[in-house]
Structure 1
């Protein structure tokens, strides 16, 4: 078992504290030492120049899939030259009528040092998804559409 931390820090910066006007900006300090400027998504009156929880969620799924995929490739001795993913997430009402990240689509594009057939690539992505601990931790529908 491993332990991971994130410290979220927010302080009121406005004289009032009304829904339409309070400042959503905050920071997230990770156990690694990285600090990220964060806010709510613009839809929820946040700062579009800062990371928001929805994008962070999509990024966590994409990153975990990539890292699991790279581990599989390395164990198979298939050299990966580059990996890119333009993932998207959908915030929608779930079965209970509450807002949730209901779907995340990963669109990985992998460039190998040598040719890898489509069946092998598909199996690697399926194995990566089945072993990605972030994907295993959420109820969101995660779809993989390799490019």
Structure 2
């Protein structure tokens, strides 16, 4: 059996200060994102904060990993929605996001798909690049439902 070749990838992002506790996050060929401190650290509530971006990265990676694994197993969800929450606390005198809880809700075509979807979700956390890259405890609490029939 041939050994699988693994690849490495590099990702780049730029930050530029614009005013007060605000800046722009950018990457080549993508729309800029206005970023800043969260309100807890004298920032503005309508600006994306690094804490939200980290939680959002875990949430998005969990979703994309599930969808990739589901596709490989021939499973196509009707709908996937997820909310995630991170806990920022002081540990040994330093702020850290110590845990991220991700709550996906996956709608499926029929009851026959429920068990396969659960099995796929069980392997997601171990394969998500982002959750593998952070110290935070990642908890995944998934809900699976059968979508109402489309008539």
Name the TM tier (shorter chain): 0.7 to 0.9
**TM-score, scaled relative to structure 2:** 0.84
Which position in structure 2 is the counterpart of 1:103?
99
User: Which aligned pairs between 1:49-68 and structure 2 lie closer than 5 A?
Assistant: 49-68=46-65
Kept after mapping to 1: 8 A contact 2:88/2:98? yes
Structure 2 residue runs without a partner (length 5+): 1-7, 144-151
Runs of 4+ in 1 over 3 A off after TM superposition: 119-122
Residue 88 of structure 2 corresponds to residue 88 of structure 1: no
C-alpha contact 1:93 1:100 (8 A) present in aligned 2 = yes
Whether the 8 Å CA contact 2:70–2:117 is kept in 1: the answer is no
Alpha-carbon separation, structure 2, partners of 1:7 and 1:31: 9
CA distance in 1, matches of 2:56, 2:101: 11
Deviation at 1:2, TM superposition (A): 1.4
Aligned residue in 1 for 2:139: 143
Q: Secondary structure at the match of 2:37?
A: coil
Aligned mates of 1:112, 1:128 — CA distance in 2: 17
**Partners of 1:114 and 1:7 in 2: how far apart?**
44
Please state which structure has a larger fraction of its residues in strand: 2
Give how far 1:32 is off. 4.1
Which moved further from structure 2: 101-110 or 121-130? 121-130
Hey, what does 1:19 align to over in structure 2? none
Query: Which residue does the alignment assign to 1:2?
Result: 9
For residues 10 and 65 of structure 2, what CA distance do their matches in structure 1 show?
19
Give the total of aligned pairs.
Answer: 135
Change (3 A) 1:143 1:32: farther
